[in-house]
Amino acid sequence: MQLVVDSLLTNYQKQGSGKKVIIMIHGWADKLQTFDELTSDLAKKYTVYRMDLPGFGQTQAPNEPWGLDEYVMFIDEFNKKLKINHVHAYIGHSNGCAVLVRGFSNNKIKSDKLILLAAAGIRNKNKLKKLGIKAIAKTGKAATFWVPRDQKQKLQKKLYGTVGSDMLVAPHLKETFKKTVMQDVQSDAARILADTLIIYGMKDSATPNEFGDIYHNLIKNSKLVKVDDAGHMLHHHQPEKTAKIVEDFL
């Protein structure tokens, strides 16, 4: 289904017809289908909305670089357009969590419950990495200026790869990536009052499970669950286990 939100053609899906509403927010370079397995269970009891965030899936990219705040405003506008007045729970994954944490902290996004799957947004822990991204982002282009075109992308990939950047996954959103990845949300997390479930995969290398401890300490009413044999995409690696933890919490 489509909708125009903030002048951007937005792709979304609505499933289920329960009275309570759940909204799912995917991570960087992902799309709404990432929640397929989780939705099929939840839609039996709830009305579940999922959207492709601007720049991803089938939603238009923003014309200017966006940060977390712009994504928060977008979600707020999405709800207004669909006349969603009360949300029972938001479920975010990875960078989608960073957006939600920012939104909850400034009350632009509200729900009874909040579920964070492999939440990103803790950037200070990776200070070196962050500085690396900043430096490469600034110099990567210049450093590869004289390299033949077919070699250029390989070399840039290597350079960005050394700092673990997701930038090349969505090169059209390079500036947006630079803007969002610099935004740490730990101080925002400390202002969240909603009942929050924090889930991490023990084998997550993108957002290590230690981030879970940090969020758990910061968010007053939170519960932390760590899932064995699951990485960053824990809802894919352990779909049934993840769904069960989510459903029990809801």
Partner 1 sequence: MKTIAVIFGGQSTEHDVSIVTALASVIKPLELTKKFHVEPVYIAKDGSWYWDKKLKDIKFYQSGEIEDYVKKAAKTHILFDNGLTLVKSSQFAGRKQYKKIDLVFPAMHGTHGEDGELMGILEMANVPYVGCNVPSSVIAMDKILAKQVTESAKIPSTPWTWFYSDELAHGSDKILKRINSLKYPLFVKPAHLGSSIGITRVTAKDQLMNALEVASHYDDKVIVEQGVENLVEATLPIMGNENPVPALLEEPLLKSEDFFDFETKYMQGGKKGTGKNAGAKASGSQGYSRIPADLPKDLYKAAEELGLNVYKSTGCRGIARVDMLVDTKAKKVMFNEINPLPGGLYAHNWNKAGISNVELVSKLIDYAEEAWQKKQKLATAFSTNYLKQF
Question: Is 2 an interacting residue with respect to partner 1 (CB under 8 A)?
Answer: yes
Strand partners, 109: none
- Contact range with partner 1 by CB under 8 A, out of 25-33, 79-87, 166-174, 234-242: 79-87
Q: Which stretch binds partner 1 (CB under 8 A): 25-33, 81-89, 212-220, 242-250?
A: 81-89
Question: Least CB distance from residue 7 to partner 1, whole Å?
Answer: 8
CB of 83 to partner 1, least distance (A): 7
DSSP class of 230? -
CA dist 37 → 44, 212, 224, 227, 244 (Å): 12, 23, 22, 17, 12
**CB nearer partner 1, residue 73 or residue 224:** 73
As a whole number of angstroms, the distance between CA 243 and CA 43 comes to 12
Sign, Cα dihedral of 191, 194, 195, 197: negative
Q: Name which position in 61, 82, 84, 202 contacts partner 1 (CB under 8 A).
A: 82
By C-beta, is 168 or 224 nearer to partner 1? 168
* Interface stretch with partner 1, choices 76-84, 109-117, 118-126, 231-239 (CB under 8 A): 76-84
Pinpoint the alpha helices (H) of 106-166: 127-143, 149-162
Number of residues that bind partner 1 (CB under 8 A): 10
Strands 195-201 and 222-227 turn out to be parallel
Residue 226: strand pairing partners? 200
- Binding residues among 93-152 for partner 1 as defined by CB under 8 A: 149-150
Q: 82 exposed, middle or buried (CB, 10 Å; 0-12, 13-18, 19+)?
A: middle
Number of Cα atoms under 13 Å in the Cβ half of residue 177: 21
Shortest distance (Å) from residue 1 CB to partner 1: 8
| Residue 39 in tokens | 């939705």
- Output the smallest distance, CB 9 to partner 1, in A: 5
Among 3, 155, 168, 202, binds partner 1 (CB under 8 A): 3
For position 14 contacting partner 1 by CB under 8 A, the verdict is: no
Strand partners, 162: none
81 binds partner 1 (CB under 8 A): yes
**Cα(38)–Cα(239) distance, rounded to whole angstroms?**
7
Q: Is 83 an interacting residue with respect to partner 1 (CB under 8 A)?
A: yes
Q: Which is nearer to partner 1, 64 or 150 (CB)?
A: 150
Catalog residues that contact partner 1 under the rule CB under 8 A: 1-4, 9, 81-83, 149-150
